[in-house]
Amino acid sequence: MSAGVKVSEPGMEGSVKKEEVYEAAKKMMGREFQTVLAALLKILPDYEDMLVENLVRPFILKDEDYKLLMDIMLGEFNKGLGKETNPTAKVKMYPTYVRDVPDGSENGNFLALDLGGTNFRVLLINLNGQEVTMESKIYLIPQHIMTGTGEQLFDHIAECIHKFMSNHDLLKEKIPLGFTFSFPCKQIGLNHAILTQWTKGFKCEGVEGEDVVRLLHEAIKRRGDIDVECLAVINDTVGALMSCAHSDRDCAIGLILGTGTNACYIEKLENVELWDGDYNEPKQVMINTEWGALGDDGCLDFVKTEYDRQVDKHSINPGRQIYEKMISGMYMGEIVRLAPEKLRKHGLLFGGKGSEELSTRGRFYTKYVSEIESDVDDHFKNTKQVFEELALEKYSDEDCRIAQYVCSLVSTRAAFLASVGVAALLNKMDRQDVTVAADGSLYRFHPHFHDLMVEKIQQLVKPGIKFKLMLSHDGSGKGAAIVTAVANRLRESGKESIGENGLEN
């Protein structure tokens, strides 16, 4: 800014006194000042949009807003758990049939499938006490299959299992399989999960309302060349929790911040009104909250920005997964893109000149947010690299600073919103020491997500509750293998339907 007083410096809002601005402007304009001031006063309200801060201010929420959001989340958890209120609840709080954390004695070879976001993986896991070894391969799910028919999807999955087994020389073996299927499901047993709705860009016909394990088994049968039985289906949140609990007995919350966002936690059976299993020890069950759907009834409208509304409108599932869309990796880049695009159109960025890339939906990747925010000095090395990738020709250091500011506003809001959910769970469980197992590329790679979350959760939890937020490794593989191991042991000992060691089939 050339006026001598930086009135619109990002983040400096409120630090410049009105009198100083007045005096500086008077000094600059001399005799013309009164005339210009009179003219400006007539039109100023129409030009509010010409300030960077005004355009991005809606991303900044107050402490009271976050406190209120936590109370809303708590209310939604209780609504989901209640028998009468569950049918109309948006946060569904599905019981998972996983009853306890592992005891460390699980062992053997297991296959796992990880479906539910950016990559589909097949894994081979060996458990031997605390020792876990793993091999995995990523297989692409082409766009036409993501939005094709269920039969195509499961045939493709069965083909990938076959390829993997063939490459690992396992075709002649019978290996128990655990399926990490990370979409909202109503479970009716450890290996029965009925998909309620697709999310995160998937939309395969004929799967909603069906048991995905049955569809998988049918596809395997259609091929007839592999001997694989799925013993357990879990959500990635449960995988994260189980994997971390393998070495930390305090672990009681599993959190995902990747393509989507979701969390699970350990709840007392007496609070789960819809529980239809046994009441043996341990009298608890993991609840898959499916909290991504918070806001689908409009309860988050008071914090939504125009950018959030646009992202939702152009998504494959408008009106759904509102909380998820304000937080997770699938949407964050796009929220950020829309803000600089608007600033650019107002001539406030890149001298008003954009690029086709910057104008293309989905072209600003969420990893750019991490990269831009990783710049720590005024060289803006990463930021400039991102600008180059977006084919932006003209940019100044001020543009870099503004881009960094916008990224930090959006990612901070996301981290604080996710903290609201975690704090609500911690307050609800009311245990003294809880480890939260977090997984997902957004949490893993963003330079400040962890610290921001710790700060906000600390503000929101009841005094006396201590928590640790820990990166969970390979939950979708290791977690699935652990649950499958216990299911397999129960089956082999003929106790299939007994809830021993927390698992029921």
The binding site for ligand ADP (CB under 6 A) comprises 117-118, 258-259, 329-330, 365-367, 370, 440-442, 445-446
- 442 interface partner picked from Mg ion, ligand ADP, none, CB below 5 to 8 A per type: ligand ADP
Size of the site for Mg ion (CB under 5 A): 1
Q: Report how far residue 31's alpha carbon sits from residue 39's, in angstroms, rounded to the nearest whole number.
A: 14
What does 310 bind: Mg ion, ligand ADP, none (CB cut-off 5 to 8 Å by kind)? none
Q: What are phi and psi of 197, to 5 degrees?
A: -160, 145
Taking the least distance from each CB to Mg ion, the nearer of 258 and 333 is 258
Cβ of residue 480: shortest distance to ligand ADP, in angstroms?
13
CB crowding 132-154: b at 16 or more within 10 Å, else e: bebebeebebeeebbbbebbbbb
Q: How far apart are CA 173 and CA 171, in angstroms?
A: 6
C-alpha separations of 221 from 121, 155, 226, 297, 298 in Å: 20, 10, 8, 41, 44
From the number of C-beta atoms within 10 Å of its C-beta (0-12, 13-18, 19+), residue 68 rates as middle
3-state secondary structure of 479: helix
Please report, to the nearest 10 degrees, the dihedral formed by the alpha carbons of residues 46, 51, 347, 28 taken in order. 90
The answer for residues whose C-beta is within 8 angstroms of residue 497's C-beta and 6 or more apart is: 504, 505
CB nearer to ligand ADP: give 297 or 389. 389
Residue 198 contacts which entry, Mg ion, ligand ADP, none (Cβ below 5-8 A, type-dependent): none
Write out the two tokens for 176.
């128990």
Applying CB under 5 A, the span of 61-69, 100-108, 254-262, 303-311 interacting with Mg ion comes to 254-262
Least distance from ligand ADP to the Cβ atom of residue 439, Å:
7
Q: Which does 446 bind (CB under 5 to 8 A by kind): ligand ADP, Mg ion, none?
A: ligand ADP
**Only segment of 65-73, 125-133, 252-260, 327-335 that touches Mg ion (CB under 5 A):** 252-260
Minimal distance, residue 115 CB to ligand ADP, in Å = 9
Query: The tokens 């305090």 sit on which residue?
Result: 250
Instruction: Tell me the closest approach of the beta carbon of residue 476 to Mg ion, in angstroms.
Output: 5
Q: For Mg ion, which stretch binds (CB under 5 A), given 258-266, 281-289, 319-327, 376-384?
A: 258-266
Q: How far is the CB of 369 from ligand ADP (least distance, A)?
A: 6
For β-strands 433-439 and 251-257, DSSP reports them as: parallel
Find, among 99, 434, 473, the residue nearest to 287 by Cα.
99
Which residue among the candidates 114, 155, 211, 236 is catalytic per the annotation?
Answer: 236
Closest to 132 (Cα-Cα) out of 106, 156, 157, 112: 106
Residue closer to ligand ADP by CB (options 89, 330) is 330
Residue nearer to ligand ADP on the CB measure, 75 or 201 = 201
**CB distance 503 to 281 below 8 Å:** no
Structural contact between residues 330 and 260, judged by C-beta atoms closer than 8 angstroms? yes
Which of the listed partners (Mg ion, ligand ADP, none) does 95 bind, with a CB threshold of 5 to 8 Å by partner kind?
none
Contact 292, 320 (CB under 8 A): no
Q: How far is the CB of 438 from Mg ion (least distance, A)?
A: 11
435 binds, among ligand ADP, Mg ion, none (CB under 5 to 8 A by kind): none
Q: Shortest Cβ distance from residue 145 to Mg ion (Å)?
A: 18
Please identify, using beta-carbon distances, which residue of 258 and 421 lies nearer to Mg ion: 258
Q: Of 324 and 504, which has the nearer Cβ to ligand ADP?
A: 324
Decide whether 106 or 324 has the Cβ nearer to ligand ADP: 324
> Residues 210, 218: contact at Cβ < 8 Å?
no
Of 200, 325, 384, 456, the active-site residue reads 200
CB under 5 to 8 A by kind: which of Mg ion, ligand ADP, none does 499 bind?
none
The nearest distance, CB 310 to ligand ADP, in angstroms, is 18
Alpha helices in 168-260 (DSSP H): 212-223, 236-245
The SS3 assignment for 470 reads strand
The residue whose Cβ lies closest to ligand ADP is 117
Give the interface segment with Mg ion, choosing from 164-172, 251-259, 430-438, 489-497 (CB under 5 A).
Answer: 251-259
Q: How far is CA 263 from CA 106, 163, 426, in A?
A: 24, 32, 12
Task: Specify the residue, 258 or 502, whose C-beta has the smaller distance to Mg ion.
Answer: 258
Whichever of 244 and 372 has its CB closer to Mg ion, that residue is 244
**Hey, how many other C-beta atoms are within 10 angstroms of the C-beta on 156?**
19
Q: Tell me which of Mg ion, ligand ADP, none is bound by residue 246, counting a contact when its beta carbon lies within the kind-specific cut-off of 5 to 8 angstroms.
A: none
496, 231 contact by CB (below 8 A): no
Instruction: Tell me whether residue 498 is exposed, middle or buried, using C-beta atoms within 10 angstroms of its C-beta: 0 to 12, 13 to 18, 19 or more.
Output: middle
**Measured between alpha carbons, how far is 266 from 263 in angstroms, rounded to an integer?**
11
Whether 236 is a known active-site residue: answer yes
Q: Which does 367 bind (CB under 5 to 8 A by kind): Mg ion, ligand ADP, none?
A: ligand ADP
Q: If you search the block for the tokens 């307050």, which residue do you land on?
A: 427
Point out which span in 257-265, 278-286, 309-317, 362-370 binds Mg ion (CB under 5 A): 257-265
> Could you confirm whether 268 is annotated as catalytic?
no
Residues in the chain: 505
Q: What are phi and psi of 188, to 5 degrees?
A: -120, 15
Least distance (Å) from Mg ion to the CB of residue 437? 13
Site map for Mg ion, 204-243, x if CB under 5 A? ----------------------------------------
Choose the binding region for Mg ion from 92-100, 132-140, 253-261, 324-332 (rule: CB under 5 A).
Answer: 253-261
Q: Would you tell me which residues interact with Mg ion (CB under 5 A)? A: 258
Q: Which residues are catalytic?
A: 200, 236
